[in-house]
């Protein structure tokens, strides 16, 4: 399940519904994100991964 924090906008996945936002700790602030928000979030994660890879590649040379 995907969750989005109404307070800070943080998006994350959990198998069980959490009580708190894992980022800012706000209570009862979790809503399901839209499909668009999930896709955007996945894209962002991929970009971060790519950046990490590039950094590693650079350091290895």
User: In the complex, which residues of this chain contact Zn ion (CB under 5 A)?
Assistant: 5, 7-8, 10, 21, 23-24, 26
Q: Do 38 and 13 contact (CB within 8 A), yes or no?
A: no
Of 23 and 35, which CB lies nearer to Zn ion in the complex structure?
A: 23
CB of 56 to Zn ion, least distance (A): 30
CB of 40 to Zn ion, least distance (A): 17
CB of 3 to Zn ion, least distance (A): 10
Contacts of residues 50-58 at CB distance under 8 Å and 24 or more positions apart, as own/partner, are none
Q: How far apart are CA 32 and CA 52, in angstroms?
A: 29
């Amino acid at each position: 399940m995907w969750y989005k924090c109404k307070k800070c906008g943080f998006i994350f996945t959990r198998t069980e519904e959490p009580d708190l936002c894992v980022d800012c700790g706000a209570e009862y602030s979790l809503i399901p994100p839209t499909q668009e928000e999930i896709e955007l979030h996945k894209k962002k994660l991929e970009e971060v991964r790519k950046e990490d890879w590039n950094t590693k590649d650079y350091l290895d040379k």
